[in-house]
């Protein structure tokens, strides 16, 4: 699966198809690249085969290619909101998606036309991902200007513009966009969107059975414990801990323990030291308490337990954090080390920081397939004398 060059896969409770997981709406397009006719046709065929009520296919599309008609493409660009114009100006292909409000084969209003045209738009985005391209849908545009400029009949709703192109290599991303492009993707939990049988009865996901807990195949699954250090969070509001649990399961590891502890050095130390003598625990992930305020004491709690420190983890994490938050990264005291044959990782308390640490550093090092070397394969040797 090609996908955009900078991958930000979706992190779901259970694995979803890679095509869905890799689709994301970036804003940095390579202005020097143009799609060929086959690629453009593939995008449009994907829309053509989207499902629709009675197979009526209410979607319509206005196509603007910069390499074919620069003036028309620029007229389309000028319909976008100023904020969208800033980045969409680099996209070589713009599509204006329309929805017919009437059925084409019967004399009746089609109240599903907008819905069906949305399905066609998603099909375009997924096909773009399959082609190694990137698509970004936009609702911010001047509908009256677009309708007048392109002579769109009144019976059609103007739904969205879609910018399509090839993603700009990471090294060439403008500084002003680096933070937004690198920021982790976020979605609300399923329980906030899914109601069971009647409104207000939130979905409760049953605990995964061991065979479901594996996520993707892992060469050497590890037992992981997760501790959130916070005076204000509990299990119901612990987004960072939930994120780490989701990530480790997706990677094929096992969740052995999960707790929330207050910002108390001795309580944190007691929990971690207890976990580090349990034979089924190989890794401990801690989030929170790595800042510089008076109650931030996770590094002090953990350092006393470490046999060795992995200095490179903190250095690399702050370097990656610098790309997103600049000089604010110096406030992070994230660290890692070895305690009684277990790996300990102390991460900041925000979901974004936990996502950054797992996605860019921890995940690969806990995978025995990572080359040239990884932490997972060294576990049996951690207690050598």
Q: What is the pLDDT of residues 106-144, one digit of tens each?
A: 889 999 999 999 999 999 999 999 998 999 999 999 999
In this prediction, residue 191 has a pLDDT band, given cuts at 50, 70 and 90, of confident
For the stretch 92-113, pLDDT in tens is 999 999 999 999 988 899 999 9
Rounded Cα distance, 343 and 307, in Å: 10
Confidence at 182, pLDDT banded by 50, 70, 90: confident
Query: Which residues, 6 or more positions from 204, have their beta carbon under 8 angstroms from its beta carbon?
Result: 191, 196
Alpha-carbon Rg for the chain in angstroms: 25
Assign 152 to helix, strand or coil: coil
Whether 3 shows a pLDDT value over 70: the answer reads no
Q: Where are the beta strands (DSSP E) in the chain?
A: 59-65, 93-100, 134-138, 156-165, 223-229, 254-261, 283-287, 308-309, 335-339, 342-347
In whole angstroms, give the CA distance from residue 240 to residue 254.
Answer: 17
DSSP letter assigned to residue 107: S
Give phi and psi for 61, each to the nearest 5: -145, 135
Residue 210 has pLDDT above 50, yes or no: no
Q: Give the torsion sign (CA, 328, 288, 241, 192).
A: negative
Q: Whole-prediction pTM value?
A: 0.59
Helix (H, G, I), strand (E, B) or coil at 111: coil
Please compute the mean of the pLDDT values over residues 11-39 and round it to a whole number: 88
Q: Which of 18-22, 46-50, 217-221 has the lowest average pLDDT?
A: 217-221
Domains of the chain (ranges; CATH) run 18-171 (3.40.109.10), 223-381 (3.40.980.10)
Question: How confident is the model at residue 319, as a pLDDT?
Answer: 92
Residue 46 has pLDDT above 50, yes or no: yes
pLDDT at 208: 52
209 vs 42 pLDDT, higher one: 42
Is the pLDDT at 56 greater than 80? The verdict is yes
CA dist 348 to 84, 204, 329, 345, Å?
33, 28, 10, 10
The pLDDT value given to residue 358: 95
Residue 170: per-residue pLDDT: 74
Output the six-digit token pair for 160: 């969205």
Mean pLDDT, residues 196-205: 89
- Does residue 81 contact residue 161 with C-beta atoms inside 8 Å? no
Instruction: Give pLDDT tens digits for 229-285.
Output: 999 988 888 999 999 999 999 899 999 999 999 999 999 999 999 999 999 999 999
Q: Mean pLDDT across the chain, nearest whole number?
A: 91
Q: How far apart are CA 355 and CA 16, in angstroms?
A: 18
Contact 208, 357 (CB under 8 A): no
Q: What is the pLDDT of residue 219?
A: 64
What percentage of the chain exceeds 70 in pLDDT?
Answer: 95
The distance of Cα 237 from the centroid of its chain, to the nearest Å, equals 20
For 182-238, the DSSP string reads HSPP----GGGT-BSSSTT-B--PPPPPTTTTT-S--SS--EEEEEEE-SS--TTT-
Contacts of 329 (CB under 8 A, 6+ apart): 318, 321, 322
In b/e form, how buried is each residue of 318-327, taking b as 16+ CB within 10 angstroms?
Answer: eebbebbbee
Angle (deg, nearest 10), helices 113-130 and 37-48: 140
b/e sequence 197-225, b meaning 16+ C-beta within 10 Å:
eeeeeeeeeeeeeeeebbbeebeebbbbb
DSSP class of residue 294 equals T
**Is the pLDDT assigned to residue 43 strictly greater than 50?**
yes
Residue 303 has pLDDT above 90, yes or no: yes
């Amino acid at each position: 699966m090609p996908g955009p060059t900078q991958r930000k896969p979706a992190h779901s409770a259970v694995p979803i198809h890679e095509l869905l997981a890799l689709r994301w709406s970036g804003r940095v397009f390579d202005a020097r690249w143009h799609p060929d006719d086959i690629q453009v046709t593939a995008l449009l065929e994907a829309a053509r085969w989207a499902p629709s009520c009675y197979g009526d296919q209410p979607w319509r599309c206005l196509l603007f290619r910069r390499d074919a008609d620069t003036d028309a493409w620029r007229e389309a660009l000028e319909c976008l909101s100023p904020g969208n114009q800033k980045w969409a100006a680099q996209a070589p292909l713009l599509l204006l998606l329309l929805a017919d409000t009437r059925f084409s084969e019967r004399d009746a209003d089609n109240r599903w036309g907008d819905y069906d045209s949305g399905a066609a738009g998603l099909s375009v985005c997924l096909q773009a991902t399959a082609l190694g391209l990137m698509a970004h849908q936009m609702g911010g545009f001047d509908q009256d200007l677009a309708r007048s400029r392109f002579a769109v009949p009144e019976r059609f709703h103007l739904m969205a513009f879609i910018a399509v192109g090839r993603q700009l290599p990471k090294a060439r991303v403008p500084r002003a966009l680096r933070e937004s492009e690198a920021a982790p993707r976020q979605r609300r939990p399923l329980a906030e969107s899914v109601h069971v049988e009647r409104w207000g009865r939130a979905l409760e996901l049953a605990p995964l059975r061991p065979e479901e807990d594996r996520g993707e195949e892992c060469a050497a699954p590890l037992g992981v414990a997760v501790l959130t250090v916070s005076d204000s969070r509990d299990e119901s509001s612990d987004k960072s801990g939930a994120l780490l649990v989701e990530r480790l399961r997706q990677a094929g590891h096992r969740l052995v323990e999960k707790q929330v502890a207050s910002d108390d050095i001795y309580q944190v130390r007691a929990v971690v030291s207890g976990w580090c003598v349990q034979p089924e625990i190989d890794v401990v992930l801690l989030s929170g308490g790595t800042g510089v305020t008076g109650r931030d004491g996770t590094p002090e709690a953990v350092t006393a337990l470490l046999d060795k420190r992995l200095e490179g983890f903190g250095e690399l994490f702050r370097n990656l954090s610098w790309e997103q938050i600049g000089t604010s990264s110096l406030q992070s005291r994230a660290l890692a080390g070895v305690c009684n044959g277990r790996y300990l990782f102390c991460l900041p308390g925000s979901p974004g920081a936990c996502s950054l640490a797992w996605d860019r550093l921890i995940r690969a090092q806990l995978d025995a397939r990572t080359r040239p070397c990884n932490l997972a394969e060294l576990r049996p040797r951690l207690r050598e004398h």
